[in-house]
């Protein structure tokens, strides 16, 4: 699979959440199939390579002659990007830079920020992604929001309260690495327990390793867990397209 990523298509806008090492091949493989002609905003969860390693390639998916693409990220992720890609932080005006580089408008958000991305009400919240290292989760939309938590090993108490307050959640996307547990990701059993507590309308698991088992077989397993719990659960996959109702 490619690095975990989300593309929100909302009206005529395309908002990308995370732009990892495999962004280029993912864009080549899926963007045309899903009518994605350009990226209008980027949201970054954290500064690991599988979340930010493709930002240089954003130059190929920017609308010509448009303003710099907003990139929402916390200060730690900005530091990582700035040290890895200093040329994407030009001191001169973008129009003065002779090289063809991605024109990015870096917008630092707090770990608990409420903000709008091209009209989509968006809320950030911090989750632990190994020890006390912070990755951001996000909710999109006001009523019955769509919630995305791609990299998480545990939750700060305050974040659990925030997520509970979002209820009812229409769709939850949640990290589920393996079966046995891991320092920086939830295992599938842990993710299932979390889903049962949060009770979204539907849950998708992301970030799986091959050790979890074959995709279809695990999804069969999840069907019986879905029946027992009354919550639909499924493994996501590359290129998966889901329709969600989002209120602004
Ligand atoms: Zn990570």
Residue 232 pLDDT:
98
Q: Which residue has the higher pLDDT, 98 or 72?
A: 72
> For residue range 79-94, what is the model confidence (pLDDT) as tens digits?
999 999 999 998 766 5
Ligand 1 centroid vs 22 CA: distance in angstroms?
14
Ligand 1 centroid vs 209 CA: distance in angstroms?
14
Ligand 1 centroid vs 147 CA: distance in angstroms?
18
Residues 162-178 have a mean pLDDT of 96
* Whether 178 contacts 208, CB under 8 Å: yes
In this predicted structure, the answer to whether residue 11 has a pLDDT above a threshold of 70 is yes
Predicted ipTM > 0.85 = yes
Ligand 1 centroid vs 175 CA: distance in angstroms?
11
> For residue range 102-140, what is the model confidence (pLDDT) as tens digits?
999 999 999 999 999 999 999 999 999 999 999 999 999
Residue 93 pLDDT:
64
Domains and CATH numbers, the chain: 1-73+75-108 (3.60.15.10), 110-248 (3.60.15.10)
The percentage of the chain sitting over the pLDDT mark of 90, rounded to a whole number, equals: 90
21 vs 1, 114, 219, CA distance in Å?
12, 28, 27
Ligand 1 centroid vs 76 CA: distance in angstroms?
13
Ligand 1 centroid vs 157 CA: distance in angstroms?
21
| DSSP assignments along 172-193, one per residue | EEEE---SS--SSS--HHHHHH
> Which tokens go with 130?
């190994």
CA 190, CA 81: separation in Å to the nearest integer? 31
CA 3, CA 151: separation in Å to the nearest integer? 11
In this predicted structure, the answer to whether residue 179 has a pLDDT above a threshold of 90 is yes
Ligand 1 centroid vs 224 CA: distance in angstroms?
30
CA 75, CA 82: separation in Å to the nearest integer? 10
* Whether 80 contacts 52, CB under 8 Å: yes
Residues, Cβ < 5 Å to ion ligand 1: 48, 151
Ligand 1 centroid vs 247 CA: distance in angstroms?
30
CA 17, CA 5: separation in Å to the nearest integer? 6
């Amino acid at each position: 699979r490619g690095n975990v990523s989300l593309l929100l298509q909302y009206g005529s806008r395309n908002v990308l959440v995370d732009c990892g090492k495999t962004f280029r091949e993912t864009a080549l493989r899926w963007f045309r199939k899903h009518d994605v002609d350009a990226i209008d905003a980027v949201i970054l969860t954290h500064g690991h390579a599988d979340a930010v390693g493709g930002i240089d390639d954003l130059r190929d998916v920017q609308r010509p002659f448009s303003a710099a693409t907003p990139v929402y990220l916390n200060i730690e992720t900005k530091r990582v990007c700035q040290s890895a890609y200093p040329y994407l932080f030009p001191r001169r005006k973008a129009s003065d830079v002779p090289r063809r580089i991605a024109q990015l408008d870096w917008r630092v958000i707090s770990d608990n920020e409420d903000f709008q991305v091209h009209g989509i009400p968006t809320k950030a919240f911090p989750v632990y992604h190994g020890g006390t290292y912070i990755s951001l989760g996000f909710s999109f939309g006001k009523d019955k929001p769509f919630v995305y938590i791609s990299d998480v090993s545990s939750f700060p108490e305050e974040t659990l309260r925030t997520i509970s307050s979002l209820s009812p959640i229409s769709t939850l996307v949640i990290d589920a690495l393996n079966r046995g547990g891991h320092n920086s990701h939830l295992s599938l059993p842990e993710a299932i327990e979390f889903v049962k507590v949060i009770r979204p309308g539907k849950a998708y698991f992301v970030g799986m390793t091959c050790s979890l088992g074959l995709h279809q077989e695990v999804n069969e397993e999840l069907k019986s867990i879905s029946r027992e719990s009354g919550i639909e659960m499924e493994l996501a996959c590359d290129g998966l397209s889901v329709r969600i109702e989002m209120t602004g």
